[in-house]
Amino acid sequence: MALENGNQSDRIKKFVAALNIAISNCRLYSKDHALIEESGKKTLSILSELLSEPVEMMVIDDDLIINKMPLRSVGLQSDNLVRRLTRKSISRVDFMAGITPGEFNQFISTMSQADSGSCAFPHIITGHVDVSTGRLKAECAYTDEDLNSFKAEQIERLKVIYKNIAPFKQLKMNELEDIVTRFVATLSREISVLKLLSPIKSYSNYTYVHSINVAILSIFQAESLGLSGKLLHDIGLAALLHDVGKLFISKDILEKHGPLDEQEFAAMTNHPAYGAAYLARIEGIARIVPIVAFEHHQKYNGTGYPKQKMSEKKQHLGSQLVAISDVFDALRSWRPYRKSLAPDEVLALMKKGAGADFNPPLVDNFITSFQKASEKER
Span near Fe ion by CB under 5 A; candidates 142-150, 188-196, 321-329, 363-371: 321-329
The contact pattern for Fe ion, residues 186-205, with x = CB under 5 A and - = no contact, is --------------------
Note whether 243 binds Fe ion by CB under 5 A. Answer: yes
Beta-bridged to residue 354, according to DSSP, are 358
Among the listed ranges 88-96, 119-127, 142-150, 242-250, the one in contact with Fe ion (CB under 5 A) is 242-250
Strands of 238-331, DSSP E: none
Kindly state the smallest distance separating residue 268's Cβ from Fe ion, in Å.
8
In the complex, minimum distance from the CB of residue 323 to Fe ion, in angstroms, rounded to a whole number: 9
Q: CA torsion, points 24, 27, 31, 37, in degrees to nearest 10?
A: 10
Nearer to Fe ion, 122 or 245 (CB): 245
Q: Which of 227, 326, 346, 362 binds Fe ion (CB under 5 A)?
A: 326
What's the maximum distance between 2 C-alpha atoms anywhere in the chain?
A: 76
Nearest to 369 by CA among 176, 175, 194, 126: 194
CA dist., res. 156 & res. 158, Å (int): 5
Q: Which stretch binds Fe ion (CB under 5 A): 131-139, 233-241, 324-332, 339-347?
A: 324-332
Are 151 and 158 contacting, i.e. CB atoms less than 8 angstroms apart?
Answer: no
| Angle of helix 173-188 versus helix 206-224 axis, rounded to 10 | 50
Q: ω into residue 306 within 30 of 0, thus cis?
A: yes
User: Considering the rule CB under 5 A, would residue 223 count as an interface residue with Fe ion?
Assistant: no
Name which of 85 and 216 has its Cβ closer to Fe ion. Answer: 216
The CB-of-38 to Fe ion minimum distance in angstroms stands at 39
Instruction: State whether residue 160 is helix, strand or coil.
Output: helix
End-to-end CA distance of the chain: 56
- Report the residue number, 47 or 217, with the smaller CB distance to Fe ion: 217
Name the amino acid, one letter, at 149.
Answer: S
Q: Are 275 and 243 in contact (CB under 8 A)?
A: yes
Q: What is the DSSP string of 131-160?
A: TTT--EEE-----HHHHHHHHHHHHHHHHH
Q: Which stretch binds Fe ion (CB under 5 A): 156-164, 218-226, 237-245, 280-288?
A: 237-245
**Summary count for the chain: helices (H), strands (E):** 16, 6
Secondary structure of residue 336 in the 3-state scheme: coil
Nearer Cβ to Fe ion (104/370): 370
Stretch that binds Fe ion, among 15-23, 37-45, 100-108, 325-333 (CB under 5 A): 325-333
Give the Cα separation of 66 and 93 in Å (integer): 9
Q: Looking at beta carbons only, is 119 or 323 nearer to Fe ion?
A: 323
Stretch that binds Fe ion, among 24-32, 123-131, 185-193, 319-327 (CB under 5 A): 319-327
| Closest to 215 in 3D by CA, of 254, 189, 247, 242 | 242
Regarding 357 and contact with Fe ion (CB under 5 A), the answer is: no
Distance of closest approach, residue 240 Cβ to Fe ion, in angstroms: 11
Tell me how far apart the alpha carbons of residues 323 and 342 are, in angstroms, rounded to a whole number: 19
The residue (of 209 and 232) whose beta carbon lies closer to Fe ion is 209
Q: Please state the closest distance from residue 246 (CB atom) to Fe ion, in A.
A: 7
Beta bridge partners of 124: 95
Minimum Å gap between C-beta 22 and Fe ion is 39
Q: Which is nearer to Fe ion, 82 or 209 (CB)?
A: 209
* Interacting span for Fe ion (CB under 5 A) from 26-34, 197-205, 326-334, 339-347: 326-334
- State the minimum distance, in angstroms, from the CB of residue 226 to Fe ion: 25
Report the C-alpha gap between 188 and 224 in whole angstroms.
11
Nearest CB to Fe ion, comparing residues 103 and 295: 295
Interface with Fe ion (CB under 5 A): 243, 326
